Amino acid sequence: MRRKVIAGNWKMNMLPNETIQFIEDLAPLVKDTEHEVILCVPYTDLFYALLTAQNTNIKIGAQNMHFAESGAYTGEVSGKMLKSINVEYVIIGHSERRQYFNETDETVNKKVKAAFENGLKPIVCVGETLEQREAGKVEEIITNQTKLALEGLTNEQVENTIIAYEPIWAIGTGKTATKEDANDAVKAIRKKIAEIYGQNVADGVIIQYGGSVKSSNASELFSMSDIDGALVGGASLKVDEFQKIIKFEQ
């Protein structure tokens, strides 16, 4: 049985004092959960989040990184830098980065490799636009993004990658994919991984759903055969809502 992984993506929200308060409030509420809990916070909150989450079961991630270790890349942060302060996870290839910051399948692949080289665990985002869905191209788009993101990784690295299926039209819109559509998309990703890396690897990979996940729809999404948790945006900014998602409570 695969574990469930519930990750919050705070995007460009929350200041250090709010981060400390949030984690102090959340930690006792989720201390007994059997699910993995991750908060992916802005760079400026990472250090505070890591300190506050020490001795709790909340893990901390970043939302992006550069693929180079160091160098003349003004404004960027490397995997080596994230690892140096004990960050554990890093989101790579979020659709907002693909859309606004020229992230491509090629840079996603470079970043995933650099994450592993630096001992970080990547959460790789894939997902289709509404246009692509309406054209019947969901499977083609998301399996291709997955294949390109994972190219050149070892089986072990693929098994340690978390994939987040996030249909772009469902992000921040209040529209969630139906549990059947979400599960079908996740299954298609798992099938593609099986084709390339073998069934054993595919059976072990955590594949989350993301896009307007909230406490009122989390439990039905998590009841599906292939959905192994969620990458949560807006609803991860409120302690009560996020802890309900982690506990699958309505």
Enzyme catalytic residues: 94, 166
Tell me the closest approach of the beta carbon of residue 73 to ligand 13P, in angstroms. 24
Site string for ligand 13P, 229-248 (x = CB under 6 A): --xxxxx-------------
Site string for ligand 13P, 148-177 (x = CB under 6 A): ------------------x----xx-----
Q: What is the DSSP string of 2-59?
A: PPPEEEEE--S---HHHHHHHHHHHHHHHTT-SSEEEEE--HHHHHHHHHHHTTSSEE
Choosing from 213, 227, 245, 246, the residue that interacts with ligand 13P (CB under 6 A) is 213
Query: Which SS3 state, helix, strand or coil, does residue 112 take?
Result: helix
Residue 122 in contact with ligand 13P, rule: CB under 6 A: no
Torsion of CA 161, 164, 165, 170, to 10 degrees: -170
Residue 87 in contact with ligand 13P, rule: CB under 6 A: no
Tell me the closest approach of the beta carbon of residue 207 to ligand 13P, in angstroms. 14
Q: Residue 13: phi, psi to the nearest 5?
A: -140, 155
Residue 226 in contact with ligand 13P, rule: CB under 6 A: no
Choosing from 93, 122, 167, 211, the residue that interacts with ligand 13P (CB under 6 A) is 211
Q: In this structure, are residues 59 and 37 in contact, taking their beta carbons and an 8 Å threshold?
A: yes
Choosing from 61, 93, 210, 229, the residue that interacts with ligand 13P (CB under 6 A) is 210
* Beta carbon nearer to ligand 13P, 28 or 172: 172
Burial 220-245 (b: 16+ CB within 10 A, else e): ebbebebbbbbbbbbbbbebebbbbb
Tell me the closest approach of the beta carbon of residue 25 to ligand 13P, in angstroms. 20
Query: Which SS3 state, helix, strand or coil, does residue 122 take?
Result: strand
Handedness of CA 74, 76, 79, 83 (dihedral sign): positive
Judged by the rule CB under 6 A, the positions of this chain that interact with ligand 13P are 9, 94, 166, 171-172, 210-213, 231-235
